[in-house]
């Protein structure tokens, strides 16, 4: 799709739509394509997974995660420490896998309300609200805000570039998962998102770099984007795409 053009959505399963956009002129390296998966939470289930809750007890590649969960889509969750523990609160199927909040992260993807029903949101967190969120939702992944409902970009300007994964919510309450095929700074990607015709109300950033990956698979559609660019764009593109071990992922399954 040309820069600034209206997205042309393709329905790929009930509650799931897909499009490819171009991030010109902000792409620093590689392909300017940005994959966008749009989710209607009323017709698709969002789940959080961590390797410690799986039989194999090891971080899996994004392709392995998709195969294991039999989901329609899988993408990388937020950041993690060298020992693969999650940076922030992570709740999977109602179980708090990591209960210690990251003090600098003010966003969370929350899905599957404890009281029943359907729903999922990107939440802008107050410092003391995360424990309440963790008790109200069965699926929670904490990370940091990219920009809020007031239009305020919540990341600083820098030259640090990498592949990026973003989770956003639009004005109609739909979720959008975006993964870049090329290398972007967070600040410039936030500006591109705000100027796009995606109707995004607020957005949070997940992990970036080689871990920024997304696989989509339905009966008549398939797409994969693997991280190729290390943070800061050092060196050339990596050949490890699709094989990076991910300790935590988020899956989407059409209901």
In this predicted structure, what is the pLDDT of residue 4?
A: 59
Residue 63's H or E segment, with its range, is helix 62-69
In this predicted structure, what is the pLDDT of residue 126?
A: 82
CA–CA distance, 83 with 69 (Å, rounded to integer):
23
In this predicted structure, what is the pLDDT of residue 230?
A: 65
In this predicted structure, what is the pLDDT of residue 231?
A: 65
Neighbours of 236 (CB within 10 A): 11
Nearest to 253 by CA among 43, 18, 20, 10: 43
Name residues of the chain where pLDDT drops below 70: 1-5, 127, 230-241
Which sign does the torsion angle of CA 193, 195, 197, 203 carry?
positive
In this predicted structure, what is the pLDDT of residue 237?
A: 60
The structure tokens listed for 223 are 């797409």
In this predicted structure, what is the pLDDT of residue 241?
A: 64
Per residue in 68-120, pLDDT (tens digit) is 999 999 999 999 999 999 999 999 999 999 999 999 999 999 999 998 888 99
Inter-CA distances, 62 with 87, 143, 165, 240, Å: 19, 19, 13, 12
DSSP helix/strand/coil, 219: coil
Nearest to 252 by CA among 150, 174, 157: 174
């Amino acid at each position: 799709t040309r820069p600034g053009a209206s997205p042309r959505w393709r329905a790929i399963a009930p509650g799931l739509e897909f499009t490819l956009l171009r991030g010109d002129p902000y792409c620093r390296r590689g392909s300017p394509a940005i994959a966008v998966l749009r989710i209607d939470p009323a017709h698709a289930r969002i789940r959080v997974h961590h390797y410690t809750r799986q039989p194999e007890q090891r971080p899996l590649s994004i392709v392995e995660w998709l195969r294991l969960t039999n989901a329609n889509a899988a993408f990388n969750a937020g950041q993690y420490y060298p020992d693969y523990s999650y940076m922030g609160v992570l709740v999977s199927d109602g179980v708090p896998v990591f209960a210690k909040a990251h003090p600098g992260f003010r966003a969370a993807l929350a899905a599957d309300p404890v009281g029943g029903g359907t729903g999922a949101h990107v939440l802008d967190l107050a410092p003391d609200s995360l424990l309440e969120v963790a008790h109200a939702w069965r699926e929670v992944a904490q990370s940091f805000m990219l920009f809020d409902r007031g239009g305020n970009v919540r990341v600083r300007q820098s030259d640090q570039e990498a592949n990026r994964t973003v989770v956003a919510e639009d004005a109609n309450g739909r979720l959008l998962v975006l993964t870049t095929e090329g290398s972007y700074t967070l600040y410039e990607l936030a500006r591109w998102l705000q100027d796009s015709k995606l109707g995004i109300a607020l957005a949070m950033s997940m992990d970036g770099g080689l871990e920024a990956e997304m696989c989509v698979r339905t009966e008549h559609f398939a797409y994969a984007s693997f991280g190729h660019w290390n943070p800061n764009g050092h060196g050339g593109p990596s050949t490890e795409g699709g094989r990076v071990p991910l300790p935590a992922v988020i899956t989407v399954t059409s209901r």
